[in-house]
Amino acid sequence: MPTSETLQVAGRDVTITSPDRVVFPETGYTKLDLVHYYLAVSDGALRGVVGRPMILKRFVKGITEEAVFQKRPPAKRPDWIEVAELHYASGTSAEEVVVRDAATLAWVVNLGCVDLNPHPVKAEDLDHPDELRIDLDPVPGVSWAQIVDVALVVREVLEDHGLVGWPKTSGSRGFHIYARVAPNWTFPEFRRAAETVAREVERRAPDLATSKWWKEERQGVFVDFNQNAKDRTVASAYSIRALPDARVSTPLVWDEVRGCRPEAFTLSTVPARFAEMGDPWAGMDASIGSLDALLALAESMGPPEKPPKGTGRRQSTMPLIEVARTKTKPEAFEALDRWKERHPTVVPLLEDADVLVDGMRGSSSLWYRVRINLQHVPEANRPAQEPLEVDYNPWAGRSWAGRPGRPEQPG
């Protein structure tokens, strides 16, 4: 098997190392397959990332192992790789890759990036976003039809406040709606505008959507506004997601949203779709809007629920117990299964949304927290908090300059 293959991309030589390395074991897709996919849809993929600093989410051993989040590009890199220096709340800074063309796109995929995670700012102005991102995150048990219903309400809210919504599947369980905005507002203003969208969607469709911050209090589809906070990134348009069938976060036209199914859009189907119909988001850059109307609505609504401050320990209004903290997702579900085996009379009383398995941001990768909400279990039958099945500490042996006891989080 060849150890490398050199491609001519956008007038540059791009070396693909270990091109035959399998990234998706169930389908057999290799690293070279991923490179060819991104080149086939490069016009659309670049629309989502061009000029934007990007965190490198690297699956160096394929999707069966956790990704590593890397802000800084390798020191040994081609001299044509552009970077921009971002400053973080922790007081640190890092130079991040800025994709300008298909050659850089192929280069980051060669590093093990399966999906692309750009910031909502351009390298020329790192303090003023130009992209409002609404992420619809369903609680377990919510149907795809309900997610679509909420997406259509989001569209209405955006249109009613002077913004054009651009829909895409997330490639995972949820749905994304983006809106181009003039870069005249700060990150806090963008987050406030997104939270206002969430609150208004909840007001219009209270049985379908929620804007509640705390996960255990959510019902239906969470309209996630926090993706607009500084240092947060979202998988961009045409990103392949790390799921066994290699699903793609696929831009849509609104007329096809009602009848779409996320599993229809994969690495094997999207290139032909792109070749046939082009990019549904091709007109996005011509529909730049303003946040004025949403920020005015925020003022009329009054203060929202306060987000966590990061100090002290919140007392939940729900009867929560913690089961495990693990390094990997399989370990999390194994711990959950052991807990269920010890409490067989409790399990039938739990609803899907009562089992909370959360991917938490560590210093360079995700770790997993497992909790159980006992709200549907009679108080007399609720299990007590027990020693954790697994008590993984992602911060062990680490220190962070400028924020004692408070780790830096990847974007």
Q: Which residues pair with 178 in a beta bridge?
A: 133, 166
Identify whether 75 is part of a domain: no
Could you tell me which residues are beta bridge partners of residue 122? 125
Burial letters 144-154, b for 16+ CB under 10 A, else e? bebbbbbbebb
* pLDDT at residue number 363: 65
**Domain annotation covers residue 240:** no
Query: Which tokens hold the place of 411?
Result: 């974007």
Residues of the chain short of pLDDT 70, as ranges, are 1-2, 305-315, 363-364, 397-411
Domain that holds residue 334: 314-411
Q: What is the pLDDT of residue 397?
A: 66
What is the reported pLDDT for 409? Answer: 37
Q: Which residue has the tokens 């969430």?
A: 198
Asked whether residue 397 is domain-assigned, the answer is: yes
For the whole model, what pTM was predicted? 0.85
Residue 372 lies in a domain: yes
Is residue 273 domain-resident?
no
Q: Is residue 387 part of a domain?
A: yes
Domain count across the chain: 1
End-to-end CA distance of the chain: 36
In 3D space, the residue among 175, 178, 180 whose CA is nearest the CA of residue 149 turns out to be 175
In a domain, 104, yes or no: no
In a domain, 260, yes or no: no
- Length of the chain as a residue count: 411
